[in-house]
Amino acid sequence: MAIATVNPTTGQTLKTYTPFDQMALETCLAQAQAAFSAYRTTSLKQRARWLHAVADLLESNKQAYGQLMTLEMGKPLKSAIAEVSKCAWVCRFYADNAASFLQDVPAVTDASQSFVRYQPLGVVLAVMPWNFPFWQVFRFAAPTLMAGNVALLKHASNVPQCALAIADIFHKAGLPEDVFQTLLVGADAVAELLADERVKAATLTGSEPAGAALAATAGQHIKPTLLELGGTDPFIVMPSADLEAAITTAVTARLLNNGQSCIAAKRFILHAAIAEPFLTGLTAKFKALKVGDPNLGTTDIGPLATPQIRDELAAQVTACVQQGAKVLVGGALASCLAALPAALRQGNFYPPTILADIPPGTPADQEEFFGPVALTFQVDSFEAAVQLANGTPLGLGASAWTQSAEECDRFVNELEAGAVFINGLVKSDPRLPFGGIKRSGYGRELGREGILAFVNAKTVWIQ
């Protein structure tokens, strides 16, 4: 696969890179192993100083880094700048909390002294996606480096400038040479990297097929992995909900990052008692959104990252409509492109779209729609809402809207997801563990769990 910056707003190829050859990869692996030997002995205080320096660089250059993300994958610039700030937050969070997360945990046993000590594993390979090109990397890197591991980044091949910029940030912040390295390689290099004995663990955020392939290879070599894969997150609205708040939040929950988020609300499950006013309000807000150049502050929806993603989304919508789904707004790609300035018509744009009255048997039943398309369903009861919400093989996040304490408690207990948010959109937060169940992956990033993902929980028994 080509490693190149292709501007999704215009379709222009701006810069191409030659993938690393075998000799270059061997050098990187040797350097990573050597770096770990020294880095693992550095103090937590020193690591924290480096992470604070990383945060300082991110904050002082957030405009430039935001523009780089927008250039390579098309997210609105205002969202990209906010992403950089969030990366600084996760660095400071682990810099400030790693010591307490990693302290020895005593246990009362038959020994004079017994405890658990957390120690780093070594070189960790991160296979990261393009949709949050900075955040996905930093939410892995901050806890992993604070734990004393070193990192090799295989980023998505359409965001190479972001990948190189991230490595440069760690270097400029003063971290030892080769503690964090970016590898310019395609997906075909991952299996060989995992097979190398110097790589001790791996993490992947991405598609289900990519996660399955990485896990299978890691399993052959008995190496731990963490997977954060796709989601078809439900957004359930009950009769007691604050309807205006739910509608307003629904727009953000579905369309953040141009709709390209694993934890975006994808399926809106509406109780029949409030379905009509909810859909009326949601449709009005979708119609008011401005599609266009993501560099402009007035733009709400930019292009999708690649033509393939746009074409797959269009095919999914077409299949639903052909089988009887009703389009409330959007859905017409040609009209969307015709309304854009001529310079943008080769971009990967897709209109904000709402589908209703979706019959069984369409792609909306099981597939993830990775773009600005809201799938809406009506139910007559709490039980039907939960059954529909849980009726997919994925289980990343879920949002439910109700003012009933009983319904709240039942949603928390009955929804099959790695995270349940009541009266709010699903989001990642450094203070809380993040991850999914079922085919959405396993393991947890962020929170205390995130820093323990790649450590040896060593039992110590002393008599």
Annotated catalytic residues are 228, 262
| CB of 131 closer than 8 Å to CB of 306 | no
* Residue of 325, 316, 438 lying closest to 378 (CA atoms): 325
Q: Is 405 left (phi over 0), alpha (psi -120 to 50) or beta?
A: alpha
Cα–Cα distance measured from residue 69 to residue 56, given in angstroms and rounded to the nearest whole number: 19
CA 421 to chain centre: 17
DSSP one-letter code for 289: P
Q: If you search the block for the tokens 């190829």, which residue do you land on?
A: 13
How many other CB atoms are found less than 10 A from the CB of residue 308? 10
Residue 11's φ and ψ, nearest 5 degrees, are 85, 5
* Residue of 14, 143, 42, 375 lying closest to 3 (CA atoms): 14
Question: Which tokens in the block code for residue 37?
Answer: 């030997």
How many other CB atoms are found less than 10 A from the CB of residue 437? 14
Q: If you search the block for the tokens 């009255």, which residue do you land on?
A: 357
Cα–Cα distance measured from residue 448 to residue 463, given in angstroms and rounded to the nearest whole number: 30
* Residue of 185, 151, 376, 400 lying closest to 286 (CA atoms): 376
Helices 77-102 and 135-146 pack at an angle, to 10 degrees, of: 20
- Which residue type is seen at 337? L
* Sign of the alpha-carbon dihedral angle for 329, 334, 337, 339: negative
* Residue of 302, 278, 300, 280 lying closest to 290 (CA atoms): 300
Q: Which residues contact 187 (CB under 8 A, 6 or more apart)?
A: 1, 127, 157, 210
Cα–Cα distance measured from residue 438 to residue 452, given in angstroms and rounded to the nearest whole number: 21
Q: If you search the block for the tokens 């490595």, which residue do you land on?
A: 167
Cα–Cα distance measured from residue 284 to residue 286, given in angstroms and rounded to the nearest whole number: 6
Q: If you search the block for the tokens 């004995």, which residue do you land on?
A: 197
Q: If you search the block for the tokens 């610039």, which residue do you land on?
A: 77
* Residue of 224, 181, 231, 230 lying closest to 205 (CA atoms): 230
* Residue of 103, 101, 145, 93 lying closest to 124 (CA atoms): 145
